[in-house]
């Protein structure tokens, strides 16, 4: 037996169906995705444990897609057996945050998506591209004015999507630091229940005030549009806005930061827009977000998963499946990576995927065009990775230029 020092989980080191294995597996000094994922793919779904009860880790591309589309498998955290790392860990239920629609099953989930989809279509994102480019360009100008060094997480990767989603929602730019600080608490695995409660309550109070303002003084922002649509109940609006605010910047920021490192260490791909899709597959930063629970007995990958047992489809494991992607641990923008599940799959597939792609593409292109001598200020092995995050990424990205 061995103990994972990060999680306190005691687990057998062999990936069998009968013996629970450690989860989550991120730890300092270990590659991402964790090498155990390959072993698990060979074994099929494997057992693990959380304080909430037993769960299955699903790693094969085919099996992950099956989990994310089977109507007998639920995204609702209020169901018995739903995986939770702690009392407040993971996605909230509707009783905790009404309007957190990714935690709903059909047909209720569809009510929210139908209202929101028009704001995230390819056409809508195309219309947003000039605004995104303006934000990116302004951030680069600010960095250049400060000298020849920067932290590209703090000064670039995080503010790009943060300012974009703020503009869409009508959140004042001056309030960005507040909601980024609260979000950081919510997406850090080591945050306490009390810290999560406080951060969540603070965000909801802020958004409820903003919603009240928009009711009396509507604008062209997304919150005003949601109020006008009338399809989302008043008590759900703050939860919807909170979800969009968090999902709209944290995932993209991690993709941008990691992608910059990849391009700095593989400069032959700078300027090639195909890197975006491969970055999404290669890093799969949202590996741990798609928690589920079986509502009926179901067979996945040859294993019988019983009603009430938790399921975690590991997105990074699926995106590094050798049966789907040749040389999956290699970075190759020339491959066809469109079958990746970095945005999930099925009815819960990420609503903002077109926006994420546009932000990444514009951020990479503008940064390297305007700062062609950009380079890392530390050795790549010294970069602080988010082993403690719900989403994988970088805590900091120190760079310099001539």
Give me the tens of pLDDT residue by residue for the chain, a chain 402 residues long: 222 323 333 333 333 445 678 777 777 777 888 889 999 999 899 999 888 788 999 999 999 999 999 999 999 999 999 998 766 667 888 988 999 999 999 999 999 999 999 999 999 999 999 999 999 999 999 999 999 999 999 999 999 999 999 999 998 888 888 888 888 888 887 788 899 889 999 999 999 999 999 999 999 999 999 999 999 999 999 999 999 988 888 899 999 999 999 999 999 999 999 999 999 999 999 998 899 999 999 999 999 999 999 999 999 999 999 999 999 999 999 998 889 999 999 999 999 999 999 999 999 999 999 999 999 999 999 999 988 778 899 999 999 999
pLDDT confidence of residue 15 = 39
- Whose structure tokens read 């037993």? 54
pLDDT confidence of residue 387 = 83
Domains annotated for the chain, with CATH where assigned, are: 2-400 (1.10.630.10)
pLDDT confidence of residue 87 = 61
Q: In the 8-state DSSP scheme, what is residue 4?
A: -
**Closest C-alpha to 308, from 125, 13, 53, 64:** 53
* Sign of the dihedral defined by the CA atoms of residues 157, 131, 359, 164, in that order: positive
* 159 contact partners, CB below 8 Å, separation of at least 6: 135, 139, 176
The DSSP H or E segment spanning 150 is: strand 149-151
* Sign of the dihedral defined by the CA atoms of residues 58, 64, 66, 68, in that order: positive
The DSSP H or E segment spanning 205 is: helix 193-216
pTM for the structure as a whole: 0.90
Q: What is the DSSP string of 348-397?
A: GS-TTHHHHHHHHHHHHHHHHHH-TT-EESS-GGGS-B-TTBSS--BS--
SS (H, E, C) 295-314: CCCEEECCEEECCCCEEEEC
**Closest C-alpha to 48, from 92, 90, 97, 14:** 14
pLDDT confidence of residue 136 = 98
pLDDT confidence of residue 92 = 85
């Amino acid at each position: 037996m061995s103990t994972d020092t990060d999680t306190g989980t005691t687990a057998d080191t062999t990936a069998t169906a009968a013996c629970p294995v450690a989860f989550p597996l991120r730890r300092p000094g270990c590659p991402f995705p964790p090498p155990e994922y390959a072993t698990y793919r060979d074994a099929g779904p494997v057992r693990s444990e959380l304080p909430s009860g037993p769960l299955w880790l699903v790693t094969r591309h085919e099996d992950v897609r099956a989990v994310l589309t089977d109507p007998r498998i639920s995204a609702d955290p209020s169901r018995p057996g739903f995986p939770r790392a702690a009392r407040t860990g993971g996605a909230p239920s509707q009783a905790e945050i009404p309007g957190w629609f990714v935690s709903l099953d059909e047909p209720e989930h569809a009510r929210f998506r139908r209202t929101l989809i028009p704001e995230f279509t390819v056409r809508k994102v195309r219309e947003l591209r000039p605004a995104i480019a303006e934000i990116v360009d302004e951030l680069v100008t600010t960095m250049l004015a400060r000298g020849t060094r920067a932290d590209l997480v703090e000064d670039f990767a995080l503010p790009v999507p943060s300012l974009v989603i703020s503009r869409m929602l009508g959140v004042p730019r001056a309030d960005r630091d507040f909601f980024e600080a609260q979000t950081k608490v919510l997406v850090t695995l080591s945050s306490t229940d009390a810290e999560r409660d406080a951060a969540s309550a603070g965000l909801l109070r802020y958004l409820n005030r903003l919603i009240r303002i928009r009711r009396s003084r509507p604008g062209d922002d997304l919150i005003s549009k949601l109020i006008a649509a009338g399809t989302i109940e008043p008590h759900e609006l703050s939860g919807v806005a909170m979800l969009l605010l968090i999902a709209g910047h944290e995932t993209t920021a991690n993709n941008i930061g990691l992608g910059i490192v990849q391009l700095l260490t593989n400069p032959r791909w700078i300027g090639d827009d195909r890197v975006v899709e491969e970055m999404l597959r290669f890093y799969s930063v949202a590996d741990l977000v798609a928690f589920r629970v079986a509502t009926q007995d179901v067979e996945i990958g040859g294993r019988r998963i019983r009603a009430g047992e938790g399921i975690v489809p590991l997105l990074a494991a699926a995106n590094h499946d050798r049966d789907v992607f040749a040389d999956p641990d290699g970075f190759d923008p020339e491959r066809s990576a469109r079958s990746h599940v970095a945005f999930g799959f099925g009815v819960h597939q990420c609503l903002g995927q077109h926006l994420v792609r546009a932000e990444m593409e514009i951020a990479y292109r503008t940064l390297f065009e305007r700062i062609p001598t950009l380079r890392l200020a530390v050795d790549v092995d010294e970069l602080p990775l988010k082993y403690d995050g719900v989403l994988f990424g970088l805590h900091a990205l120190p760079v310099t230029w001539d």
